[in-house]
Each structure stands twice: as structure tokens, then as C-alpha cells.
Chain A
């Protein structure tokens, strides 16, 4: 069966319409934070199995960035929200 992602703006769409950026959990450090902190942010990633949060972009649809919470083992999608909501929702 096709992997489906329910876009909050466009409705349920196939995975092929989206582009995945990666982990949505790291928080960007302050500009003058220590080199080790920046190194961790840039290069170090946990590789968990199970429920994860990722940034996906609906390239072929509304072109919005989304935060997708899904299981990377079963590809069950738990929640999808617009990424701008995390920063107060500009739109």
C-alpha cells in the first residue's frame, strides 16, 4: 500500500508529493554558543527506531513545511502540522 501523509492544507496525499528534510527535534543554538554545541547541532543525530518527528515539505502541493510525527518502522503517521505553528504561526 502507498505511504500516505495527511497534509493539513491539502488532505491525504501520497508520499511521492513530499520531500523529507530530516529530524525536527534539534533546536538551533544561540549564535555564540560553544563549538561543541554547534557541532552537536550540525552533525550529531540520534537514530531511534519508532516514533520520530521530522520536517517534510509538500513540494508538489501547498509547498509548506510540515512537522510529521510518524513511526519509522511501520510508517504509521500520528500527527502532521504546519511548521510555522511552532514559531507562533505567521500564516
Chain B
């Protein structure tokens, strides 16, 4: 028997009903290619050198010798193939495009909203643009990265995405926040 498989985003049907855009906006990315790279034992420096940011993908620190790679240019299949070719024996690459959800929180109060649930210092001097960290957001572990002075990227496991959006809405109750899928 043949099956037709359909890709459904983890947040389909839970957001996007209200199109109004407010000062702070949480954009959920539909098709970001995501991969996890783990350096082979003793090869951390070599892998890090190959992963230096370029126009095609962005590497975000998640642990020693471990990065989260995001790409808006590549499709999930081509990102993994590209990384495997570049990294060779220096690292292991695992596709997470359908396993994680990427969100962007942007707006003048973005850092204040995040500070309601995240226990790290988000001041621009301590957590500058380009810095990334795995942090606890309420009870969920997320990868947080600063992409601009008032813009943050969050990457969370797929099954926690709905809970994270609910948490962020609660964290933003004293600020203006709208939530929708990103258009690109």
C-alpha cells in the first residue's frame, strides 16, 4: 500500500490566524535547513575553522565541539551533503531540519521579553551579536543567538515549539507581541 506523506509544520494551525503586526514580532520559520555538527575527538579546532560563517550557512555554538548549523539558502538535503563534503572526517553531521523549529524574536523589547524566562545576561556587551548559547527558557532548553541589537533567534526541538510559543506569549504579556509564520 502506498502512502502520501505530507510535511506539516509543528505550529501549523496554532499560529497565523491574526495578521496584525505589533512592535515586537515573533516570526516562525517554515523551511530553515538545520543540522547538528559534532567534531570528531580531538578535531574541534579543525571543524571550527571549516564552519566559519559564510553566506551559505551559519554555525551556532551549542557545546564544546558541537554546533547548530542554520541555512536559509540550502534545502535540508543539500545542507547535510554540503557539510559532509566540507567537514570530511573532522566531524559528524546530522540533519535536524524537521526535528527543530527556528524562531526569530525581533523588536525594541526583545531582550526584556526574553529576560522574563531566560537566566543569562542579555546585555549587548556580554551577549553581543553573533553570540549563541544553549539556555533554559522556563523549563525548555533552547539555543539562543543574537542576530542584531534587538533581534534574537531561538531554535527548539519540534515537539516543544508550541509550548515555547505559549511561554513567549506569557513572557511578553506586558509588551506588544505578534506571532506569525515568516514570509520570505
Contact = CB atoms under 8 A, between A and B. Distances in A.
B90 to A, nearest CB: 13
Chain B interface mostly helix, strand, loop or mixed? strand
A17 B136 contact: yes
A64 B63 contact: yes
A63 B64 CA distance: 9
Contacts of A59: 141
Contacts of B41: 90-91
A9 B39 CA distance: 15
Interface of A: 2, 9-11, 13-14, 16-17, 59-64, 82, 90-91
A60 B141 contact: yes
Interface size class, chain B: 10 to 19
Nearest to B136: A60
Contacts of A14: 119, 136
Contacts of B15: none
B157 to A, nearest CB: 12
B134 A60 contact: yes
A67 to B, nearest CB: 15
B178 interface: no
B171 interface: no
Interface string B46-86: 00000000000000001111100000000000000000000
Contacts of B135: 13, 17, 60-61
A38 B62 CA distance: 37
A62 B63 contact: yes
Contact of A61 (B39, B65, B133): B133
B12 to A, nearest CB: 27
Nearest first, the 9 closest Cβ-Cβ pairs linking A and B are A62-B63, A60-B136, A60-B141, A14-B119, A61-B134, A17-B136, A90-B41, A9-B64, A91-B65
